[in-house]
Amino acid sequence: MLTHQIQTEFSRHFGSVPLLIASPGRINLIGEHTDYNDGFVLPAAIDKSIYLGFAKNGTRNCRIYSLDYQAMDSFSLDELVPREKGWINFLMGVTAQLLRAGYPIEGFDCVFGGDIPIGAGLSSSAALENGVGMGLSELFDLRIPKLELVQFAQKAEHEFAGVKCGIMDMFASMMGRSGHALRLDCRSLEFAYFPLSLGEYELMLLDTRVEHSLGDTAYNTRRDECQTGVETVRTQFPQVNSLRDVSADMLDAVRNHLPGRVYDRCSYVVAENQRLLKSCEALEMGNLSAFGDAMYASHEGLSRQYEVSCEELDFLVAQTINKPEVLGARMMGGGFGGCTINLIASAYVDTFLSEVSKAYTNTFGITLKPYRVTTSEGTRRV
Ligand code: GLA
């Protein structure tokens, strides 16, 4: 349906037939704020995507139409500098990476749009960046390896959107596989697919519909705090390069030299990596209830020690406690808004939704938005 719309709009604006790409958003089951600490994450690509159409235009200019914003913008290949704000940065950012790496990109036209809610923490920007990378690789027949495209997307985000994000979002969107989560070691980039057999349970997202503005700044501050922790640990344990190499004992050994806040941040990350490895074992054994417990523990750490949650997220998680039909819940992604992810009995979804929506509106005056999600294939040509 959406691909059809992309084609129609493409022909309306540019008068030609585009090559089509689909690029999904992502969820993350567990392993939050671990990616930029060389740790483990367990994300999956989802059945909400951005679709993009591309065609060459024989010039040095790139004309882009956003279906969702119903807006046209453009940039020249000879002037790729970040703009103040806006979606065009994601397209310019990726194009700049490809050119810098020596790939022979020429002018192109693009129409894009999709159904990944924006600002909900489902990585619509990573999906867009991956889609641009793969689109250009296909359009100019460059055969760029997927991992390289993922790295271009991450660099584009750093340089053109100003967020020093880890690699999880792009990796999950690009490498996702239907029916599976993927466990990624963010240090070696080795990964393994984990079948998600949830039986009578499913994953449901609850969108707080808030996006607290301190998000990006706080994200970069957390990175710095983790780095401070690593440097202090290294004074006694020189073999340490990142929090991935740090144990709870090492952290305790330098505790007196760390500001309390930094200790809490690091201690959360160290525990979250351990939790992730254990919860993957639980998943393999089909022990969903142990997996759910790990989700709750992850939320607790994110809220109290890492301090990236907010009132609305904490409220939604608290609503699930003492409800045996919900096995686990936690905030997902960077934090300060966005969604919670819930592992919930399918038969209970409707009842739960009507209860929690009422309570949420009563408390915050905001209409809660639920998304029932399933896993999907990663970025691909359609
Ligand atoms: C955001 C970033 C990711 C990751 C998560 C937290 O989504 O883009 O790289 O750090 O936050 O796990």
Distance 211 CA to ligand 1 centre (A): 15
Give residue 217's pLDDT.
84
In which element (H, E) is residue 168 found?
helix 168-175
Please report which helix (H) or strand (E) contains residue 261, including its range: helix 260-284
Task: Tell me which of 3.20.20.70, 3.30.1280.10, 3.30.300.30, 3.30.70.890 is the CATH number of domain 201-373.
Answer: 3.30.70.890
Instruction: Name residues of the chain where pLDDT drops below 50.
Output: none
| CATH domain 2-196 topology | Ribosomal Protein S5; domain 2 (3.30.230)
Pocket of ligand 1, candidates 32, 35, 220: which has the most ligand atoms within 8 Å of its Cβ, to mutate? 35
Q: How many helices (H) and strands (E) does the chain have?
A: 11, 13
Among 284, 32, 322, 60, CA closest to 180? 284
Residue 45 CB-density burial (10 A; 0-12 exposed, 13-18 middle, 19+ buried): buried
Taking the domains of the chain in order of start, what are their residue ranges? Answer: 2-196, 201-373
Q: For the sheet with 380-381, list strands across it.
A: 71-76, 61-66, 108-114, 43-56, 19-28, 380-381
Alpha helices in 33-123 (DSSP H): 88-100
Nearest-5° Cα angle at 290, 264 to 169:
60
- What are 157-207's pLDDT values in tens digits? 999 988 889 999 999 999 999 999 999 999 999 999 999 989 999 999 999
Residue 214 is predicted with a pLDDT of 63
169 has catalytic annotation: yes
Q: Tell if the pTM clears 0.95, that is, is over it.
A: yes
Residues in the chain: 382
Give how far the C-alpha of residue 32 lies from the chain's centroid of Cα atoms, to the nearest Å: 10
Measured distance between the N- and C-terminal CA atoms of the chain, rounded to whole angstroms: 12
Handedness of CA 304, 307, 308, 309 (dihedral sign): positive
Output Rg (C-alpha) for the chain, integer angstroms: 21
Cβ-Cβ contacts under 8 Å for 300 (sequence gap 6 or more):
none
* Confidence at residue 202, expressed as pLDDT on a 0 to 100 scale: 97
Structure tokens at 217: 């700044």
Ligand 1 atom nearest residue 123's Cα: 7
pLDDT number for residue 163: 84
Supply the angle between the helices 288-304 and 311-318 in degrees, to the nearest 10.
150
Distance, in Å, from the CA atom of 113 to the CA atom of 124, rounded to the nearest integer, reads: 10
From CA 247, how far away is CA 282, in angstroms rounded? Answer: 22
Q: Which of 35, 38, 109, 169 is catalytic?
A: 169
Choose which residue among 38, 116, 168 to substitute to test ligand 1 binding: the one with the highest number of ligand atoms within 8 A of its C-beta. 168
CB-neighbour burial class of residue 84 (10 A; exposed 0-12, middle 13-18, buried 19+): exposed
